Structure 1
Amino acid sequence: MLADFHSINVTKLEVEIEKRDNGEQIVRCKQPLEAYAETWIDRLEYWADAAPDRVFVAQRSEDGHWDEITYSQALAKVRAIATWLLKQELSIDRPLVCLSGNSNEHLLIALAAMYIGVPYAPISTAYSLISTDFGKLHHVFDLLTPGLVFVDNLGPYRKAIDAVAGNLPLVALSTDHGDDNLDNPVTRFSELLDTEPTAETDNARAAISGDSIAKFMFTSGSTGMPKAVIITQRMMSANQVMINGMMAFLKDEPPVLVDWLPWNHTFGGNHNVGIVLYNGGSLYIDHGKPTEKAFDITLNNLADVAPTVYLNVPSGYELLVKRLRERPEIAKTFFSRLKLTLFAAAGLSQHIWDALDELAIEHTGKKIPMVTGLGATETAPSALFASIEESASGVVGTPLPGVEMKLVPNGDKLEARIRAVTVTPGYWRAPEQTAKAYDEEGFYCLGDAVKYIDPEQPNRGFRFDGRVSEDFKLNTGTWVSVGALKAHIIHFFAPYVQDVVIAGHDNAYVSAIVIPDLDHCRTLVPNSEQMSTPELLRAPHLRETFQRLLDEMAKTSTGSSTKICRMRLMDEPLSIDLGEVTDKNSINQRAVLKNRAELVEDLYSEQPSSDVLVLGS
């Protein structure tokens, strides 16, 4: 099988298993965790000395050129900014908050805060730009009590700042008239760069350690308001060495990333930025997004810069495949030095995976390895990775070096818990939530279940087996595995379904609320460009297609827990204010069921509305 792939330097991880009398298992990686730098700042200083002229980070300027910052330039700028920050009386109780998205300046001020031991918190731009009540942003500011706020352009963030920031000082690249009648003192970012480092700067740098808090990263709030996860320098640095323990090729050649993933999420902000910084690579910031309108930006960037590693969410790969088929000249550049692809956040449909393999073979003669794994914000993030041989949607692999995974019987499942130096010490100013997150042996409770690919061959690794907290029982006592069922529906209805919410707790049968992929749904309805979403979803041919697939899928079911008896298509967007969706399009199942109670009631009504598709109708 490996002969089908381009050869890269990866390590085959092996596990050892301790079985306990109570049915628990402890799964450990046999390979030890190698030595790691104490802080990210150590690595910035290392590469500024070892490769001073290598590009560290770059973004598109207004004239379309790449604004590149080398490692030596980055360190000099970080020291200047850090010196200015020292004068602002910041601390762990008055941290730096960044409201705007990825940028050269965002990364520099974040590293500058870390340089002097001040935590920084990257906040989802949706909390400021999409939210209408600023409820989550209020929660963030009340919890953190920040001492300084950074934004790129003050104008778009003015309403949010007025709502939550009081008279806090601000740093902005530009104001775009957003400083009119503003109570907050504003400093232009350029002034920070003019600050001359002092002995105090060096003393503050010398005082940071692996235990220093680097970041507060907010979870998506799947069970309420977002929690502030404490991320230490040790967690971030050790996690990169864990990743390198499997992806050994990252140490052989400096990685080049073209990446859009937001830094307020652990995938983009810890995993991807860390891969670049720890290994002396280059990060080209992609201001595109995996949407039809914004993906042209991504494509333009990929035409310029050929990545060595490409990381994305499944919706991003779907658009990538579509556009690379249309633009073979960009596909040729994209695959020219690509060594590995990786996805996270959701399952990747097999037809997209196959299409990516076909493109790679067309342009390089072989497949490019793709892997996935398992982790969380609280694990900094990577805990498990799949091998190239076993990688498939739903496979999470084996523990990385230095990671212990406890498997605890939970019904007919194995709940996964993690212990490692990369696990957070807890949630900021939330002792009760912190106490609930760990078991009596100090293992962090992921809330995920896993199962062996083959119990007789544990080195093959594990599959994801759903969220323990999402599973429920029908009134017959039959358990419904929500994660597995969602994945099956998305695969069976591909490409017309973006996500699914499963209903049926204490009912006789399972139903589904479908979040449709509107772009693909429009291909089923001629001349549908001007149709509203409700009109589109009620179009006869579209409904006939979904009805047919619903009936066909039922024939593959193995019982009541895997059979969808009723289905309804969502005709309005999910709400970030209500906690139904994150800005990375992750769906909060429980929030949707709670907020859309009328849809659930319709699904289980004796006389459902015409919007409900009924099995066998």
Structure 2
Amino acid sequence: MGAIRPGADADVPSRGPAPFRQVDLDWLPWNHVMGGNGVFNVILSLGLSLYIDDGKPVGEQFSKTIRNLRDISPISYTNAPAGFASLAAALEGDDELCRSFFKNLKVMTYGGARLPDDVYARVQALAVKTTGQRIVFTTTYGTTETAPAATMSHWNAERVGLIGLPCPGVELKLLPVTDGKYEVRIKSIAVTPGYQKLPDLTEAAFDEEGFYKIGDLVEFAKYDRPAEGLIFAGRLLEDFKLLSGTFVLVGVLPVDAITAAIPLISDALVAGQDRDEVGLLAWPHLEACRSFIGDRTATIEEIVGNREIRGAIRWGIHSHDEACGNAGSRRIERVLLLSDPPSIDHNEITDKGYINQRALTRRSAAVDRLYADPVTSDVIIIPRQADFQHNAAEKRNVGQGRNGGTRLS
């Protein structure tokens, strides 16, 4: 299936000369509209020298990106939230890498999901430590069908999750859904006119007024001040209900879990449709977990079964659940760590490094194991406060890790 890109033969608009060193490093594939249209055209319009990063924000492939960042000091850096989490872990404690990364950097951009607050704070703290100032950290929002950006936070917002305001020429339609959240639909000359040779799919993709039904939820940063922008609030089609009828907003939970267990979880899938409680299938962050237990050679299988790692994740998610109170839609009751990475070939992860929630279909056996009764030994059960007992030593070990250098809070 291919989305037709409007203006494919249009001239690249001039943005004037770049006021800083004209070097950039990027890994996004050119066959994708973000890499080919959103990044490569900017390289051409600014007259930059592009170094192609052969790494990806997936597992050990990210080590190639770190190697490249030691040699190339880019003027901008774009990645998925999981990539920034891996980058923060690599930068911490490596002053030489920090100096190379921040040397010419003017702006950082993330997309595809909300960036965890902790990752944002850690990267900015490293920027201040290295350069004496914070770096502009922004995001755009869109899809292949919107070629690629429909909205952008074009100001230096000191918060994450903000997708900003419509780009010039873009019109948004907001349809109320629930609790201050709206389904967003998009109309613009940049939106695809349809899918090649797929008239039925094309017709289903647009409403009666010609707005593209992107399938996402947004909310206002401040309802009475819409100029302060919109916040991404999840995927309309991915949200589900528990057996109790409680509506679960899938889009926010993976970020909550990653933040709660930082830096030990790199990404997660949310399970629980037609079940009693929410659960997670989670991928450990290999390098962060190795640092946490003080073993740089530990395999992913050893990490998945490691008692310290499992205890730290249990404590982190428990703290998240306590903060949620009685909100059953946000409480995570069980976690299963996965040893095999998400598969691009099976569409579990996009070519931009974003986890596809629909990967649960392929992971149905893992979901069954997550909810098996009796509980299997590889499932981490998150206890309620009344049942959760721990001593000061256990909490200290969870907070520091074996090597004393990795923090979980």
Q: Please give the TM-score of this superposition, normalised by the length of structure 2.
A: 0.84
Whole-angstrom distance in 1 between the partners of 2:259 and 2:312: 15
Please list the CA deviations of residues 474-506 of structure 1 after superposition, one character each: whole Å capped at 9, or x if unmatched. 122211000112211111111111111111112
1:277 and 2:44 correspond: yes
Q: Structure 1 residue 518: deviation in Å?
A: 2.3
1:552 and 2:326 correspond: no
- Contact 2:220-2:226 at 8 Å conserved across structures: yes
Whole-angstrom distance in 1 between the partners of 2:60 and 2:369: 34
Q: Please give the TM-score of this superposition, normalised by the length of structure 1.
A: 0.57
Correspondence for 1:496 among 251, 264, 283? 264
Whole-angstrom distance in 1 between the partners of 2:51 and 2:321: 46
Q: Which amino acid aligns with 1:495?
A: P
Structure 1 segment 29-48 matched on structure 2, within 5 A: none
| Structure 2 unaligned blocks of 5 or more | 388-409
- Contact 1:234-1:421 at 8 Å conserved across structures: no
Structure 1 segment 182-581 matched on structure 2, within 5 A: 227-233=1-7, 250-251=15-16, 253=18, 256-290=23-57, 298-299=65-66, 301-302=68-69, 305-325=72-92, 328-329=95-96, 331-412=98-179, 413-527=181-295, 529-531=297-299, 533-558=300-325, 559-581=327-349
Computing the radius of gyration over CA atoms, which structure comes out larger, 1 or 2?
1
Alignment CA distance shift 1:573-1:295 (3 Å): closer
Structure 1 segment 65-144 matched on structure 2, within 5 A: none
Please list the CA deviations of residues 140-172 of structure 1 after superposition, one character each: whole Å capped at 9, or x if unmatched. xxxxxxxxxxxxxxxxxxxxxxxxxxxxxxxxx
Question: Counterpart of 1:501 in 2: which secondary structure?
Answer: strand
Whole-angstrom distance in 1 between the partners of 2:365 and 2:380: 16
Question: Counterpart of 2:214 in 1: which secondary structure?
Answer: strand
Whole-angstrom distance in 2 between the partners of 1:519 and 1:440: 49
Q: Which amino acid aligns with 2:291?
A: T
Whole-angstrom distance in 1 between the partners of 2:294 and 2:95: 28
* Corresponding residue number in structure 1 for 2:370: 603
Aligned-residue Cα RMSD (Å) equals 2.7
Alignment CA distance shift 1:423-1:546 (3 Å): same
Q: Which amino acid aligns with 1:253?
A: A
Whole-angstrom distance in 2 between the partners of 1:409 and 1:539: 45
- Contact 1:360-1:367 at 8 Å conserved across structures: yes
Whole-angstrom distance in 1 between the partners of 2:329 and 2:355: 21
Q: Structure 1 residue 256: deviation in Å?
A: 3.9
Q: Structure 1 residue 323: deviation in Å?
A: 4.5
Whole-angstrom distance in 2 between the partners of 1:573 and 1:334: 27
Q: How many residues align?
A: 380
| Structure 1 unaligned blocks of 5 or more | 1-226, 245-249
Question: Counterpart of 2:329 in 1: which secondary structure?
Answer: helix
Question: Counterpart of 1:484 in 2: which secondary structure?
Answer: helix
Same amino acid, percent of matched pairs: 37
Task: Spell out structure 1 runs of 4+ moving beyond 6 A.
Answer: none
Please list the CA deviations of residues 414-472 of structure 1 after superposition, one character each: whole Å capped at 9, or x if unmatched. 01111111001111111111111111111111111100000111110011000000001
- Contact 2:147-2:191 at 8 Å conserved across structures: yes
Alignment CA distance shift 1:301-1:600 (3 Å): closer
Q: Which amino acid aligns with 1:421?
A: I
